[in-house]
Structure 1
Amino acid sequence: MSAGKEGVWEVDLDSFNFSDYGNYNYTNEGNTCCLGVVCTQQESMAFESVFLPVLYSLAMVVGLLGNGLVLGVLFQLRRTWSVTDTFILHLAVADTLLLLTLPFWALEAIQGWTFGSGLCKLTGAIFRINFYSGIFLLACISLDRYLSIVHAVQMYSRRKPWVVQASCLSVWLFCLLLSIPDWVFLEQVVDPRRGEKPECTHNYLRYEASIDDWRIASRMVYHVVGFIIPAVVMVYCYSCILLRLRGGSRGPQKQKAIRVILALVVVFFISWTPYNITLLVDTIQTNQTHSSHTCASTTALDVSLTVTAALGYLHCSVNPVLYTFVGVKFRRHLLDMLRALGCKLKSQVRPTSRKSSVWTMVSSGDTTYSSGF
C-alpha cells in the first residue's frame, strides 16, 4: 500500500488481503506470489508512525491558528467584504476542514484505522473535497486578479455579491463529485504486509474490475485536475500580472506585489511538485514487472511518498500567511482584534481605505486594481 496519498491511501495488488478473494492465486511461501516479490513494509510503517503524527500535529496547530485568525478578521469585516475576501473565506474554511481530518490520519499511522468503514468514507471524502476546494479556490483567485489587473475587467460586481458566492458553491459541488470514488471504494482493510494493521484504503477490488484501471484513472484525475490545470492557470495569470506590473513605474507597493506574486507561485510548486513527481514514479513502477523491484526501492518510494505528501498538506497551513498576513489592512484589523483581547502591541501599519480588500492595493498607471496583496 502506498504511504503517500491523494487524499487517503489506496490498496494495490501486492498489499491487499488476497485471502478474501478466491480469484487470486496468492501464497506467502518465500515471501513471493504469482505477481512477484511481496515485501513487508515494517520500515516504512515505523517511519510513518513517528513522522506523520509529529508533522500533522504541527500543521494542525499552525494551520488552525492562522486560519482561525483569518476567519476572525473576515467576520469583523463582513459588511465590507470584497470579491477576494469572499474567496479567502471559502479557502480558509476548506483548509480548516482539511486540517481537522489530520488527527485521524496521525492516529492511523500509530495504531491503525480503528474507526470503521463508515467514518473512513466520511473522513476520506471530507479530506478529498477540501483538498480539491483549496486548490481550485487558489486558481479562482488567480483568475480574478488576472482579469482585474491585466484587462481591467471586474468578473464580479459588488452590487451582486451572490454571483461570487455562486462561483464558490460551484467549486464545492464539483469537488463533491470528485469525492464520489471515496464514498464508493474507501473501506477499513487489513493489509498482510503491514502487520495485519487495519487501515483506511481504497478497495479497488470491490467490484471485480481491473485494479490497475481504477488506480490509473484515479491518479490521472488527481494529476490533471488537482495539479496540472490549477498550476497552468496560476502560472499564466500571475505571469501576465507580473508583465503588466513591470510595464509601468515601479513604486514600493508594486515591488512588494511582485515579490508576493512570486512567493505564491514558488510556495505552491514547492509544496506540490515533489509529491506529484513521486506519485508519478510510483504509478509507473506499479505498472512495470514486479520482479524487477527490490524491497529496498519499494520502501524508499513509500517513505518518499509519505514525506512529499505531508509537505503538500502543509500548504494549507501556509495559505493564511501568504494570502492574508501580507495585507496592510488585515494586519491593522488583526492588531486591533488582539488589542481588544488584552494584548499590548505597537502598530506601524498605516490606515487604508475602508473600501479596499484586506489586502493592499496596487496601482498601475492611473488605474487602481484590487490585487489581493
Structure 2
Amino acid sequence: MDDDTSTTYYDVFIEEDFSGNMTEQCHKHDDKIFAAQFLPPIYSLVFILGLVGNALLVLTLVRYKGLKGVVDVFFLNIAISNFLCLVTYPFWIHTAIHSWDLGNAMCKMVSGFYTAGYYGYTCFLVLLIIHRYLAIVHMGRFHLAAKKTGCGIIASAWGLAVLAALPELMFSQVQTEGRDNICHFVQPHYPLGDEKFWKNFLTLKMNILGLLIPLLVAVFCYGSIRKTSRYKEKNYGLFRLIFVMTLVFIGLWTPYSLVLFLTTFQEHLNLSNCESSYHLDKATQVTKIIGDTHCCINPVIYGLLDETVQRRLYCLFHHQNNTDSHPREGPEQQSPATKGPLYHSSRF
C-alpha cells in the first residue's frame, strides 16, 4: 500500500493476523463516540421499562399466582436474571458519557452480574421449554418428578450461570484508552500469550450456551409437542407464551452472536481487511444494544400472553367501565374471556 493512500484513509495500525507477516494501516470504528451518542438514551429507556415491567411480573407471580408451581418459579428466576442485567446498565451509561472511575473490583462485579444474568436467563428459558415438553409429551410420569427435583434444578441452573460468568469476571478490568479509563466487558483483558485461546473460547461459549443449545432444544421440544394428540386436542396458552419468548430471545441475540463469531474468526474467513473490520466493529456495538433490550421486552410478552394477567386487565377495565355508569353484566352476559376455567401456568 503506498503512502498517499495511507495518509488519505488510515491513521491507526492494526495487525491483520497473528503471524505479523502483513501490517496494514486502518481507520478503526470509533466506538466511544458511537456509545456516547446512542447508548445512554437507549439503555436509560430499557432500564426504566425493564425495572417496571419485571417488578410487575414479580408482583403477578407472587401475589396473584402465589408461586404455586415450578413454572411460576422458573418465571420468577427469569425476572431475577433480568434484574441482574438491568442493574449494570447505569454503569455502562456512566462509562459511555464519562470514564470508569470505580476501580477494578467494581468492574469485575458489574461484568459478572451481567454475564450471570444473561446465562441465567438462557438456563431458565431452556428449563421452561423442557418443562413444557415433559408435561405434554410425558404427562403421566412428569408431575411427581417435577415437584421433587424443582429446588435442585433451580440451584443447578444458577450454578451453571455463575460458572459460565467466571471468565468474564476474571478477565474484566479497567484499561486506559487515551485519556479515558474503560471497564472492558465486550473485549476483556486476556492473559498475555493466551489472547487467541480465550477470545475464541468466550466467543464459542456465547454462541453455544447462549444461542445454539436453546435453539436446538426449542426445535426438538416444539417439534415433538406439536406431534402429540394432546397438543392437537387443546390450545396450550402457556406453550404459546414460552414459544414466543424463545423466538424473541433468539431473534434479538442471533445478530450479535453471528457478528461476534465473524469478528473473532475474521482472519479465517477472509474478513480481516480494513473495510470488513470497520463494519464488524460497528455491527458489534449495534447488535449488542439490540440484544440487551430483551430485559424489558420479556415482561411485555408475559403480560400480553399470560391468561392470568389478561383476566386481571379485563377485570380492571370492566370495573372502570362500570364506574362510568355502564350497567353491570349478569352471568349470562359475561365476556367469553371470563367464562369457564382458565388454564393457569401454576398447575404444572
**TM-score, reference length from structure 2:** 0.79
User: How far has the Cα of 1:284 moved from its partner?
Assistant: 1.6
Matched position secondary structure for 1:98: helix
Distance 1:167 1:327, change over 3 A: same
2:338 to 350, 358, 363: 350
2: CA distance, partners of 1:123 / 1:345: 47
1:220 to 204, 207, 214: 204
2: CA distance, partners of 1:344 / 1:237: 42
Matched position secondary structure for 1:179: helix
2: CA distance, partners of 1:257 / 1:92: 17
Aligned length: 317
1:200 to 183, 190, 209: 183
For the 8 Å contact 2:12–2:26, the answer to whether it is kept is yes
Corresponding residue number in structure 1 for 2:155: 169
| 2:73 pairs with 1:86 | yes
Which structure has more relative contact order (CA 8 Å, sep 6+)? It is: 1
Q: Which amino acid aligns with 2:273?
A: H
Q: Which runs of 5+ in 1 are unaligned?
A: 1-28, 359-368
Distance 1:188 1:161, change over 3 A: same
Corresponding residue number in structure 1 for 2:164: 178
Q: Which amino acid aligns with 1:95?
A: N
User: How far has the Cα of 1:258 moved from its partner?
Assistant: 7.2
For the 8 Å contact 2:40–2:93, the answer to whether it is kept is yes
Equivalent runs, 1:135-284 vs 2, <5 Å? 135-153=122-140, 155-157=142-144, 161=147, 163-191=149-177, 195-201=178-184, 202-205=188-191, 208-244=192-228, 248-249=232-233, 253=235, 260=241, 263-284=244-265
Q: Which amino acid aligns with 1:86?
A: V
Matched position secondary structure for 1:32: strand
Identity %: 27
Q: Which amino acid aligns with 1:185?
A: F
Equivalent runs, 1:36-55 vs 2, <5 Å? 36-37=23-24, 39=26, 41=28, 43-55=30-42
For each residue in 1:160-192, what CA deviation from the matched residue of structure 2 results, as whole angstroms up to 9, or x when unmatched? 85631221111111111122212321110013x
Q: Which amino acid aligns with 1:171?
A: A
More displaced 10-residue stretch of structure 1: 225-234 or 260-269: 260-269
For each residue in 1:38-77, what CA deviation from the matched residue of structure 2 results, as whole angstroms up to 9, or x when unmatched? 6565633212212211221121122111111110111214
- Higher alpha-carbon Rg: 2
Equivalent runs, 1:115-154 vs 2, <5 Å? 115-153=102-140
User: How far has the Cα of 1:331 moved from its partner?
Assistant: 3.0
2: CA distance, partners of 1:146 / 1:90: 19
| 2:308 pairs with 1:329 | yes
Q: Which runs of 5+ in 2 are unaligned?
A: 1-9, 323-333
Q: Which amino acid aligns with 1:276?
A: S
User: How far has the Cα of 1:334 moved from its partner?
Assistant: 6.0
Matched position secondary structure for 1:113: coil
